Structure 1
């Protein structure tokens, strides 16, 4: 993306360079969450009402599944680094398709549902780092934000549309719904099999062939991503119960739709600005947006729910994209490994939010004022980030040349420096 054209025209210019395979990946980035979110958001209802699981058991199952889906990304990145991007995506989709078949069979044998759900999450963990790395393979630093934000927009569009399509059928006709989703994943898998390889596995003896999963981790972007997801998942985990009590489940869906729409529209348009923004500024802007949004939620009115969700989303648009870009530039590892490390950070943050945030929400509920939950979460947005910025004073690791999947050296970026500096 050109320095002087961060908006819509610059975005279109950058994306106009996409050829067939990346365009197919962007389409897949919509279709895969579309199919997944026709089922996964309703799993608590499905497991409890359709399969008869207790809510306590359901909560444990969903916590484990979420941890696998996020933190397992570090394994997906390492696998892509070893066997190649296309093969990793293929195996991930095969595993995830098998998981949806398992959910279909669970209608006849309910105990299979838990294993099937975890299997779908394993597939998601393996897929995303390879998908992102393939999308930006060989792309220079200036165009990477546009490509990544376009992928994020497609992802959020699928997440927004999937529940709207599937809502009426989850409990009334789950069998046909699972068949449709399975068929969609079969088609997407076949399409991935036709992609050209972005490279094979790294040659044995190449740099990083035997490195540990966390070797070369970019410490500050990793920690910032974990903290961002920890704070964001206060919103993700607990808004439903808070909003339904004060409005309705339909209004809660409207809040989520607004958040998805903002990511789809704003992040691609703002990607150039986010790329050039100094990292400390991006962290300040992002966490301030989170703090403001969480504080507004404490008011509890419908207007506050919409405004709070919008502010939180705008903060995360900056944080999530900038953390990925910064990690790519600070780490000497391959793109797929870096994305996997960032997914691990996200999983740790989301898990901590589930454990600590749940205790905090329970305390405020017992005290009779859950608005304090959002105020205490907002306070954490202001208190914790300065600790991260203290890490920035440490000397940054100079980016080393990367190996592509064939083992050939390639430059980390076009200018050899971290953008926005």
Structure 2
């Protein structure tokens, strides 16, 4: 399907495999988000599960989907990127088949949901690593941001398509999503192999967290912890202050900003010193969370926009910095970053839920957002202290002294 160019100023031209992978990066979340955002309603109203049970099921599924990425990265390091993506899609497709069968036998629904999340955990690190495989350092932000834009576009469109059908015709919906995943899986089988070890290569056994880039890992966990205050609890707050329709509008604005702004800003984010990126990103989160406390419709839109702009900087820069600092393969690095995201999101659900409950009980939910904003200002300086301590201990050069992880033409660290 053609060789990709070694050097180019931006994203284009794209080879056939990369065009298909970016299309898949849209279609996979499109299919997933035709189902997953409605699972709480489906499990409770269609299958009759209690809300307490539903909450536990969704918490476990979210933790698996995020934190399982570290296993997906390690698997890709052993068997190759294409094989890992194929196995992940087979697992995820089986999960959607399970949801279809759960309409006849409801107990299957929980296992099927967890299976789809396992597939997502295995897929994403290999997908990101394939996108940047053999791509020179300057073009990596453009490819990663294009993948993120496709992902967010699918996440935005999926619920709009599926909303009218998830309760009235779930069987047809699950069947359509299963067919979509079967087609995408077949397409992945035709991709060129990438990241596979040559025959006879000795496999060095390393721990899942061996070679982790400590500061980007910690910064990613903190960023997701703070961002998921918004992700987990905005629905309850926005419906109370405005309406469910307005909440959907806020989410659409956030998805649109990621789709449009991140690809345009990817080069600037790459050149930005890491300390400045952390400052800008966490300041955006702090400002957005504080604005939400006002509670008006304008505040909800403005707060969502500021938070999204902050996470655009943080999420992309943390991935780029982890790739730059870690000696491990790209897939392993992306898996480690997903683990950090899962830990942060889980902590946000547990601690944030308690705090929001206290605010709701006191009749002042706005204080929840102000407390989250205060954490955005108080916690990041600890990361910068960790950075200086880690650099002194490991003798790591600063941002201005050049890249720590030079890549050869295959996108791998020489000598690895």
* TM norm structure 2: 0.93
- Residue 16 of structure 1 deviates from its aligned partner by 1.4
Alignment match of 1:292 (pick from 287, 294, 306) = 287
- Among 334, 340, 344, the alignment partner of 1:339 is 334
Distance 1:340 1:295 in 2: 32
> Which ranges of structure 2 fall in alignment gaps of 5 or more residues?
1-7, 398-403
Matches for 1:307-346 after TM superposition, within 5 Å = 307-346=302-341
Tell me what 2:151 maps to: 155
Partner Cα distance (1:250, 1:400) in 2: 46
Distance in structure 2 (CA, Å) of the matches to 1:397 and 1:115? 44
The answer on whether the counterparts of 1:293 and 1:309 sit within 8 Å (CA) in structure 2 is yes
Residues 1:85 and 2:71 are matched in the alignment:
no
Is the Cα contact below 8 Å between 1:334 and 1:404 reproduced in 2? no
Q: 1:366 aligns with which of 347, 353, 361?
A: 361
Pair 1:264 & 2:259 matched: yes
Whether contact under 8 Å (1:202, 1:404) holds in the other structure is no
C-alpha distance 142-409 of structure 1, shift in aligned 2 (>3 A):
closer
Give, in angstroms, the shift of residue 201 of structure 1: 3.4
Partner residue, 2:206:
211
Distance 1:81 1:293 in 2: 38
Q: Distance in 2 between matches of 1:142 and 1:313?
A: 24
Shift of 1:17: 2.7
Partner of 2:58: 62
Runs of 4 or more above 3 Å deviation: 201-206, 396-405, 408-412
Partner of 1:100: 96
- Give the Cα separation in 2 of the matches to 1:128 and 1:214: 17
CA contact (8 A) 1:263 1:317 kept: yes
Deviation string 1:363-400 (CA, Å, 9 cap, x unpaired) is 11111110000000000000000000111213254746
**Aligned residue for 2:133?**
137
Work out the CA distance in 1 between the residues paired with 2:148 and 2:396: 28
Cα distance in 1, alignment partners of residues 330 and 240 from structure 2:
43
Partner of residue 377, structure 2 = 382
In structure 2, the CA distance between the partners of 1:404 and 1:129, relative to structure 1 (3 Å rule), is: farther
Distance 1:14 1:300, change over 3 A: same
Count of equivalent residues: 398
Which one of 181, 189, 192 corresponds to residue 185 of structure 2?
189
* TM-score for both structures, normalised by structure 1: 0.92
Please tell me whether residue 76 in structure 1 is matched to residue 72 in structure 2. Answer: yes
After superposition, residues 163-182 of structure 1 pair within 5 angstroms as 163-182=159-178
Q: Could you say which residue in structure 2 is the equivalent of 1:127?
A: 123
Q: CA deviation at 1:411?
A: 4.2
**Distance in 1 between the 2:253 and 2:103 partners?**
33
Q: In 2, Cα distance between the equivalents of 1:357 and 1:36?
A: 26
**Residue 19 to residue 196, structure 1, CA distance change in 2 (3 Å):** same
Q: 8 Å contact 2:329–2:412 — kept in the other structure?
A: no
Q: 1:204 Cα shift?
A: 6.6
Q: Which residue of 2 aligns with 1:46?
A: 42
Could you say if the C-alpha distance between residues 204 and 327 of structure 1 is closer, same or farther in structure 2, counting changes exceeding 3 Å? farther
SS in 1 for 2:57: helix
Structure 1 portions without partners, runs of 5+: 1-11, 413-421
Within the candidate set 236, 242, 257, 1:247 is matched to 242
Cα distance in structure 2, aligned partners of 1:178 and 1:313:
31
- Residue 231 of structure 1 deviates from its aligned partner by 0.3
- 394-403 or 365-374, larger mean C-alpha shift: 394-403
- Aligned equivalent of 1:8: none
Local SS of the residue matching 1:168:
coil
Moved more, 125-134 or 387-396: 387-396
DSSP 3-state at the match of 1:16: coil
- Which residue of structure 1 lines up, in the alignment, with residue 347 of structure 2? 352
| Counterpart residue number, 1:7 | none
